[in-house]
Structure 1
Amino acid sequence: MDLFSRSWTALRAAVAELPDEDFERPSGCTGWLVRDLVCHLVLDAQDVLITLVTPAATEPTRDAVTYWHVADTPPTGEDPLDALIPRLAAAYGEPRLLKFHLDDVGSAAGRAAELADPGGRVSTRDEVLTVGDYLSVYVLEWTLHHLDLIAHLPSAAEPPAATLAAARASLEEIAGAPFPASFSDKDALLVGTGRRPPTGAEDAALGGLAARLPLVLG
């Protein structure tokens, strides 16, 4: 629960501190500007709110690792929802309106997570998870998107070290193998999810794991 709060608070703070001109810069998500990514975060916050008030009475069908679907290829932007995001983001017109909406809905999502019972069960995507596992999913989600947000903004604040480490641990569980100790947590996340290609030295250090990368999470 603490890691969820820390990752989400840091991400929202990074968005709040962006100057308007940075909203038109590219993000780390292929085909999306920073404003598009921020719009996606608004929808993510809505999903958190919806899921936390959708209790389930059955046993969990997924956990924080098995929740993720690992695709063979990265998204192209042709998925209907992916294609809708830039149009929604453009409709805001001004960055301050996007910032306001993210702060408004995002604060509510953060409060709802703090009030939730970690052992409770919720339903999302036709699956059942404990609240604790569901929020752990978002530690990885928020941390990756924080890296996406600042991909071309070198002066912006990075995710907290604790959430980078937790996100790396989650990705290693999904991969079924650890990343080399020579990889920083940030580099493990970027290379592991295909956000940047490995260098020659990194590829050699990955060994057999290289054949399983990138892990395209959905």
Structure 2
Amino acid sequence: MLIQFWLQFYVDTTIPMLNTFNIRTLLTLYPGQQHFSSKWTKVNSGGRYQKNTFYHNVGYRVLIEQESVSTSLTIILHQIPYTNSKDTPITSLQNHHPIGRYVFLVTDKNVKLKESPPLYSDAEFIRARSISKIVQIHKGHEYYVVLTCFEPNSEAAYDLTFLSDILLSITKTESIDILKPRVVTPPKNKTQPLFLKVKVEINK
């Protein structure tokens, strides 16, 4: 019985339905909540921050719209792995990818975010169904929330929830140009003038 009790938490990937009380409570505590559903594919799964393909990851641009100095933002990421059978929602945890989140603060749009450390990042990626994090954001600043799998080209679906006590402007971006690594072009070699040595023989 004890094994069965713990096993249900290990294999069950379904999200329990919220009852009316919980929904009303969430709406009261977090009137600015927003939900997104999308997928990691071989195109938009750029891997972790250390990868050159990191900017391919899907990002979410976050701005505070209301007259408020700052607010707490709760970010909840739920992973839905691909399964061979669409009839069963039960999958082993081993079929889940190690996932993580990065939060970037844009202080200067002329500076590549790739050249500055993120405001928050998961130092260790977790093979989990759901992960959450609370960060503090401020009015007048631009933030990017980037959802990542540990390795590029991973495939899975996900649900993303933002919870806040004020209204936020959240926009999905398919790729983040300011996260592209700066391309350094090597200086062109200046062509040196070519001098030809001509040997002149004078016949006496």
**TM-score of the pair, normalised by structure 2:** 0.27
**TM-score of the pair, normalised by structure 1:** 0.26
Q: Whose strand proportion is higher, 1 or 2?
A: 2
Which is higher, the Rg of structure 1 or of structure 2?
Answer: 2
Q: Which has the higher contact order (CA 8 A, sep 6+)?
A: 2
Q: Whose helix proportion is higher, 1 or 2?
A: 1
